[in-house]
Structure formats: structure tokens, C-alpha cells
Structure 1
Amino acid sequence: MPLPLLALAIAAFGIGTTEFVIMGLLPDVARDLAVSIPAAGMLVSAYALGVTIGAPIVAIAVANLPRKKALMSLIGVFIVGNLLCALAPDYSVLMAARIVTAFCHGAFFGIGSVVAAGLVAPNRRAQAIALMFTGLTLANVLGVPFGTALGQALGWRATFWAVTGIGVLAALALALCLPARIEMKEASLMREFSVLKNPQVLLVLAISVLASASLFATFTYITPILEDVTGFSPHAVTFVLLLFGLGLTVGSTLGGKLADWRLLPSLLAFLLAIVLILAVFASTMHRPVPAMVTIFVWGILAFAIVPPLQMLIVDRASHAPNLASTLNQGAFNLGNATGAWLGGMAIGTGVPLTSLPWVSGLAALGALALTAGSLSLERRAQRNMSLAAPGQCSQAPASAPSSTLRSQP
């Protein structure tokens, strides 16, 4: 892995860990701060909403900063936010600290994706983005389990002290490894927001929301599914979640490679496979070994779509990639919250846990339909360009100056 991408991956590991590790620490936080479990759960929702709302605001604020300086500033916010989490004397301060930390999340991944893509040859851009996001997948495989174990052993504050240390390490890596000058276009507020007039950009954002919702509508409730339906013990559930995290890591690499080969067709194939694997999981969740195999494959597919979607938004918004790429991170987090809400609403109306994969499948079908629409629009645009090109060529001699015509043999 090239050193600049390694530095971005270390930062992604820290950011991913601080986002998800709170889920494993909710009982400890609730007990220590004398709040209910649902109130502690709001720390998760507030973070996701902080990413969604804060991402475009922060992206605009750092739009004209040199890319290295912008990333260093964002990792600085990350360090301060986690330090405040570790020192928080009460629930309200912890909530504010989580929101501060969330503000750097979307902008860092958005700008970092553009920087990663610009550091390599054009035919390896999606793989570069995938390498950066490997840090996020490893956060689920290593950071969250170890962070949870550390918090349970030494208190939840110890986890945030450790994540603060990871942030300092990431800041040093970025300072030493990123090029001093990274090519960038001068940002214009009007140009940045004009990207939202592009229907192809809006389609990618909508695909990201639905794809993420398809994951979290079921995965949010994966522990009760595995314990109550499949029959796993709590200890075995931890192993299955580790298996899922390994699938995410494999999927990120696979998605990057295939996206560099054929971007939209690869995304279309992955989404179709997600619909199918969710249908399979509705059956295999009743038996331990088939459930484990299905969850591993689901993990691969769930993260295989991330590099293609991030690369697609950079391509679709080439004149304003930083804001669009950052908005896509907000779209992913909006999908997280939407998916959890859809799953919870379904359970609240009496739908059994065994039906949640079908709820997820509907969201994935929506993402698949939008991707097919985007591919159709792209092919239509290419066809129109190819039809227009011969006409332009045939008109050129007629409109050329007479002197030019006389000079030709």
C-alpha cells in the first residue's frame, strides 16, 4: 500500500472505530452517566445525523484550503472530539462531543476519497479509494471488538482515550506521508452547489441512501436474529460479527478492482447479488452453518458497492468532486439511520425478525432500479454524442474559410 494511502487508511480506521464502538459500550455509558439505554442509543443516532448535516457545511468551510491542510484540520477536529468524549463529565457534554466528532467524518472521507483517487493512475482510482476504506472495514473487524473489550475492562472512557491516540498517530502519518502539494481546483460556492442540478449526481446519492438502508434495516437487529432465530450464544454472535467484518474487508478490495474495470455494470451486479443474498438469508438464518456462510457473503457484497459508489460520485461531479463526495458520505449515514428506522418500524407493527431480510431486499431493489436508470441515462448520453459527432464533422468543410479550402490538396 502506498504510504499516502496508508496514512488515509489509518485515519479511516480511527474514524470508523469511534463511530461504531459506542454500540458495544451503551450499557456501560448508560450506567456511568445515569441515563437509560434508549437515551444512550441517541449517541449513535446523533452521530449519524451529525455526519449527514455537518458534512456539506464542513466541506464548504475547507473548500479552498490546500488538501493536505484540510485533511490535517479535519483529523484535528477528530482528536479534539474524542478527547472531549473521554473527559465528558455528563451526558450532554458527551452528546456534544459526539456531534463535534461526527462533523469531521463526512468531509474527511469525502475529501480523502478525491485525494486518494488523484494519487494513482486513472485506471486504479477505485482501488485507491478501496484501500482508504480498508481502514473503515478493519475498524469493524478489529477496532470495535478490541475497543469494546477495552471499555468493558477499564471503563468506556479508556476506549475514547485509545481512539484519541489513534487520531494522533493518523495525524502524524498524514503529516509525514501526504504530498505537500496536492492538485485541486479553486472552489466556487455556486459551482459546488450547482452539482445538485445534475440528475446523475442525485441518482448516485439516492442509490447510496437505499443501499445503506438495505444493510442496516436488518444488520441493526442482527444480534437478536442470531440469538433468538439462529440459536447462537452471545459469545458465538461476536464470532459471527467478526466473520461479517472480514467479509466487509474482502468486499472493499473486490469492489475497487471491479469498479476500475467496469464501473456501473459492476455496481449493478453487486446490487442484484445483494437482493439475492438477502432472500437466501431469510431461509438460512434458521440454521447456524448456512447462516454464517450467508452472512460472510453478505458482508462481501455490502461493502463491495462502496468504492464504486464513491468513484461514481467523483466522476459524475468532476467539476465539484469534494462537495459531492462528502454529500455521498452523508447519504450513506442517512441510509444507516433510515434502515434502522425501517427495521424498527417493521418490528413495531408486528413483523417478525425473520421478515427483516425482505424489508432490506426491497430497499436493495430500489437501489438496483435507480442504478439501472443511471446506466440507461449514461448510454443514451453516449449514443447522442456519437450521433452528433459525425454531423459536426460533415459540417466542418462547409463552414471553413475559402482560403483554407483552397490550401487543401
Structure 2
Amino acid sequence: MNKYRWQAIVFVLVAFMLGCNEFIVVGVLSDIARELHVSVATVGYLVTIFATVYAISTPFITILTNRFSRYKTLMVIFLIGNTLSGLANSFTVLLISRVITAVVAGAIISLIMTFASAIAPREKRANLVSWIFAGFSIASVFGVPIGTAISTSYSWHDAFYLITVISLITCGLLGWLLPKQVEQVQGSIKNQLVLLADKRIYIGIALVLFTAATMYAYYTYIRPILTTGLGFSTASLNWLLFLIGVMNILCNRFSGMLAERDGLKQMPKFYVADIALLLILPWGMSSKLGGMAILLVLTLIVTLINSPIQIHFLNIAEREYPQSTVLASSLNSIFFNFGISLGSATASGMLGVVGLQHISWGAAGFAAVSLVLSVVLNRAIRQAATAN
């Protein structure tokens, strides 16, 4: 196996590690709430807080560590934060540990994306980017269900310890496989931020944010939706999460295929489908099979934007703002997490107002905003192409 393939594998492993850490709380909400004597809704806000800190800190950490060699320091901080999560014996300590990991997680993935962009042959870049995103999905397929199984059989603390072991292995592989020097255009903070003034960039950022909000306005409470809402047993939960994760992996592979075929032009029709599915989900929940089928189709299409928008950001930065390439590589993860924060907070609010049955209506509203933004972004891209 050539070195590039090993590098690609370790990039996916980094995404898997970060995905396990970020999403594990979704699978063990009830267990944490029971042990720490807080409500499930309170634990749900850990998702919101993690995503908010991730999104706010990532641009600053990314700009300040705009050198490839800094990933080692970031990984050590991540290890400390994740291990502290495992050791937490109170909600306050758990919250602090989640903030520590959130501060560096976004900068780690942005540097990995930039490494991938620098290392991959141009014709393989969209494929590699889609696999890195798939690493997060693989975490939901294998990592989160395994973590949930460990939590229910032993303790949620042990699930975090397993992530620490994976992180140590990943650190060793990164040190072995990553090149010591990669050509990089340096720029001042001001010069890096000029990227954000481009219409094609800031509309794309808004689209990422509202797409993530669409997903997490219902996915934050996926465990109660499956058990309380659809009536599945707790024993079948791992298999159901596994199925959802498989669809997420397929979504990322499909997203990579779209990125190779000017996928942004095709996004509006998928947002229309999102809106329709989210509006009918409350009625679909009257049937186990019907409700599960809607959730699986939603998972297949709800984040198809990931690879096309990542390649969009990188291409514009490389052509017109080369000093901002690392920042461009982080935009998707930064604003996806702002969207997670918005979506999970909306889900928590909707839960108290309309109940679990109709929680997807908030997500449908975000999907409608995403539809409008996708149309506007395509128009801005056409206008820029005409002007050039």
C-alpha cells in the first residue's frame, strides 16, 4: 500500500476520533443524566455548548496556529480534554472537559483538511474530502453505538476512555505519516480574513449553518425519537443507530460523487425533499416502519452539501486567496457546528413547546432557509463566472 493511501486512512481516522468524541453524548444522554442527577434536556445542552465553543474558537485557533506543525500541541490538548470527560464525576467537570476538547477539535480537522488538499492529487481531492467527512459518519455507525453499548453494559466513562486509546494511536500514526514540511502561503490575520468578504463564501457559510441546523433540530433527540416516539425497545437502539450511521456513510460517499460533478447546482432539489420529509415525520411516527423509513431517507440526503461546499471553499481560496487556504478549509466545520448549536437549541426549545412528536417542524423551517440560500449561492457563482 503506497504512502498516500496510508495518509488517507489516517486522515479518516482523525475524523473518526473527533466524531466519536463530539457525538458520543447523543448516544449516552440518558446514562449521563441518570448518574449525574440532571435532566436529559440539561445533558442535551452539552451538544449545544460543545458546538458553540467549537464554532467560536475554531477560526481564532486556526488563524493563530496557521502552521502545519501545530497539530501535535492541539492533539495533546484534545487528549487531556477527552480523558477528563471520562474522569468527570459531576456535570460541571464534564462541561469543562467538553469545552477543552471543543476549543481544539475544529482546528485539528481544518489542518487535516489542508494536509489532504496539499497531499492528494487534484483528481482525487473530492474523493478524499468525502472520505474524511465519512470518518464522522463511521463514528456514528461504529463508534457511537459501541460507546452506547459500553455505556449501557459498563459505564459512559469507559466510552470516553476508549476514545482516548484511539486518540493515542492516531497521534502516533500522524507523527509517522505526515510530511515534515508542506508549502504554505503565509498571511497576516487581516489578509486571511479578507476571504470572508467574498459573496460566494459568506452565502456558502450561511448554507452550511442552516443545513446543520436542519439535521440537529431533530437528530439531537434521536434516541428519544426512536424509543419514546417510535416505540422501539432500548435493546434494539444500537442496531437502529447502526442503520442510521450506514445511511450517513452512504450520504458522504454520494456527497463526494456530487462534488466531482458540480454538485452545488443539484442541491435545491434535495432541500425540497428535506422539507417534505420533515413536515410529514410527525404523522410517519404513528408507524415504526414508516417513521424509521423517513429518518433513514433524511439521513441519506440531509448533509449532501458537505463535500461540494468544502471543495467550493478550497477552490476559491486557492485561486483568489491563497493566504487563506487553512481558514477556508475550516469554514465548513466552524459553521456546521454553529448550525449544530442552533439546531440542538431549537430542538430543546421545541421539545418543551410542541413535544417530541412535532420536533421536526423546526428542522423543516431551517431546510426552507437552506433551499433559498442554495439558489442564491448558485446565482452568485454564475455571476462571478460571467464577470471573470
Q: Does 1:360 align with 2:363?
A: yes
Partner of 2:191: 191
Partner of 2:32: 29
Q: Supply the distance in 2 between the matched residues of 1:185 and 1:296 (Cα, whole angstroms).
A: 42
Structure 1 pair 31–347 and aligned structure 2 pair: CA distance change class (3 A): closer
Q: Which deviates more from structure 2 when the two are superposed, residues 15-24 or residues 81-90?
A: 81-90
Q: 2:345 aligns with which of 336, 341, 347?
A: 341
Matched AA of 1:345: G
Matched AA of 2:325: P
Matched AA of 1:333: N
Q: Supply the distance in 1 between the matched residues of 2:384 and 2:261 (Cα, whole angstroms).
A: 20
Per-residue deviation, residues 307-331 of structure 1 (Å, max 9, x unmatched): 1222222233332132233233121
In structure 2, stretches of 5+ residues that fail to align are none
> CA RMSD of the aligned region, Å?
2.3
- Give how far 1:136 is off: 0.8
Alignment of 1:377-396 (within 5 A): 377-385=380-388
Structure 1 pair 162–128 and aligned structure 2 pair: CA distance change class (3 A): same
In structure 1, stretches of 5+ residues that fail to align are 386-409
Structure 1 pair 222–42 and aligned structure 2 pair: CA distance change class (3 A): closer
Partner of 2:325: 321
Aligned partners of 2:313 and 2:328 also within 8 Å: yes
Structure 1 pair 207–16 and aligned structure 2 pair: CA distance change class (3 A): same
Q: Which deviates more from structure 2 when the two are superposed, residues 298-307 or residues 6-15?
A: 298-307
- Give how far 1:31 is off: 4.7
Q: Supply the distance in 1 between the matched residues of 2:41 and 2:225 (Cα, whole angstroms).
A: 20
- Give how far 1:141 is off: 0.7
Q: TM-score, normalised by structure 1?
A: 0.85
- Give how far 1:30 is off: 4.2
Q: Which deviates more from structure 2 when the two are superposed, residues 172-181 or residues 97-106?
A: 172-181
Structure 1 pair 376–253 and aligned structure 2 pair: CA distance change class (3 A): same
Partner of 1:203: 203
Partner of 1:56: 59
Q: Supply the distance in 2 between the matched residues of 1:188 and 1:212 (Cα, whole angstroms).
A: 30
Matched AA of 2:21: T
State how many pairs are aligned. 381
Q: Supply the distance in 1 between the matched residues of 2:40 and 2:357 (Cα, whole angstroms).
A: 25
Per-residue deviation, residues 47-80 of structure 1 (Å, max 9, x unmatched): 11220111112102211x2x2x233332222212
Alignment of 1:78-97 (within 5 A): 78-88=78-88, 90-97=90-97
Q: TM-score, normalised by structure 2?
A: 0.90
Q: Does 1:375 align with 2:374?
A: no
Matched AA of 2:327: L
Aligned partners of 1:259 and 1:266 also within 8 Å: no
Q: 1:17 aligns with which of 13, 17, 20?
A: 20
* Matched residue SS, 2:302: helix
Aligned partners of 1:78 and 1:101 also within 8 Å: yes
Structure 1 pair 197–354 and aligned structure 2 pair: CA distance change class (3 A): same
- Give how far 1:377 is off: 1.4
Structure 1 pair 223–35 and aligned structure 2 pair: CA distance change class (3 A): closer
Q: Supply the distance in 2 between the matched residues of 1:148 and 1:167 (Cα, whole angstroms).
A: 18
Q: Supply the distance in 1 between the matched residues of 2:32 and 2:217 (Cα, whole angstroms).
A: 25
Matched AA of 1:288: K
Per-residue deviation, residues 357-386 of structure 1 (Å, max 9, x unmatched): 33322211211211111111111222233x
Q: Which deviates more from structure 2 when the two are superposed, residues 327-336 or residues 366-375?
A: 327-336
Matched AA of 2:360: P
Q: Supply the distance in 1 between the matched residues of 2:152 and 2:227 (Cα, whole angstroms).
A: 21
Query: Whose relative contact order is higher, 1 or 2, with alpha carbons under 8 Å and at least 6 apart?
Result: 2
- Give how far 1:12 is off: 1.1
* Matched residue SS, 2:187: coil
Structure 1 pair 317–177 and aligned structure 2 pair: CA distance change class (3 A): same
Partner of 1:239: 239
Per-residue deviation, residues 221-242 of structure 1 (Å, max 9, x unmatched): 3333334443322333443222
Structure 1 pair 266–6 and aligned structure 2 pair: CA distance change class (3 A): farther
Structure 1 pair 290–173 and aligned structure 2 pair: CA distance change class (3 A): same
* Matched residue SS, 1:304: coil
Per-residue deviation, residues 181-206 of structure 1 (Å, max 9, x unmatched): 22321132111111221122111111
Q: Supply the distance in 1 between the matched residues of 2:227 and 2:164 (Cα, whole angstroms).
A: 33
Q: Supply the distance in 2 between the matched residues of 1:194 and 1:252 (Cα, whole angstroms).
A: 30
Computing the radius of gyration over CA atoms, which structure comes out larger, 1 or 2? 1
Matched AA of 1:25: V
Q: Supply the distance in 2 between the matched residues of 1:233 and 1:154 (Cα, whole angstroms).
A: 19
Q: Supply the distance in 2 between the matched residues of 1:289 and 1:185 (Cα, whole angstroms).
A: 53
Structure 1 pair 357–85 and aligned structure 2 pair: CA distance change class (3 A): closer
Aligned partners of 1:118 and 1:125 also within 8 Å: no
